Amino acid sequence: MAALKGRDLLSLADLSADEVQELLQLAAQLKSGQINLRCNKVLGLLFYKASTRTRVSFSVAMYQLGGQVMDLNPDVTQVSRGEPVQDTARVLDRYLDILAIRTFEQQQLETFAQYTKIPVINALTDLEHPCQILADLLTIQECFGKLAGLTLTYLGDGNNVAHSLLLGCALVGMNVRIATPPEFEPNPAIVEQAQAIARSQTEVVVTHDAVATARGANVLYTDVWASMGQEAEATSRIPVFQPYQINQHLLSIANPKAIVLHCLPAHRGEEITNGVMEGFQSRVWDQAENRLHAQKALLVSLLGAD
Positions marked active-site: 102, 129, 132, 223, 263, 291
Q: What whole-number distance in Å separates Cα of residue 238 and Cα of residue 213?
A: 20
Contact 113, 13 (CB under 8 A): no
- What are the backbone dihedrals phi and psi of residue 102, each rounded to the nearest 5 degrees, phi first? -120, 110
Amino acid identity, position 176? V
The strand pairing partners of 118, in sequence order, are: none
Q: What whole-number distance in Å separates Cα of residue 118 and Cα of residue 99?
A: 7
Q: What whole-number distance in Å separates Cα of residue 183 and Cα of residue 146?
A: 34
User: Would residue 156 be called left, alpha or beta, if left means φ above 0 and alpha means ψ between -120 and 50 degrees?
Assistant: left
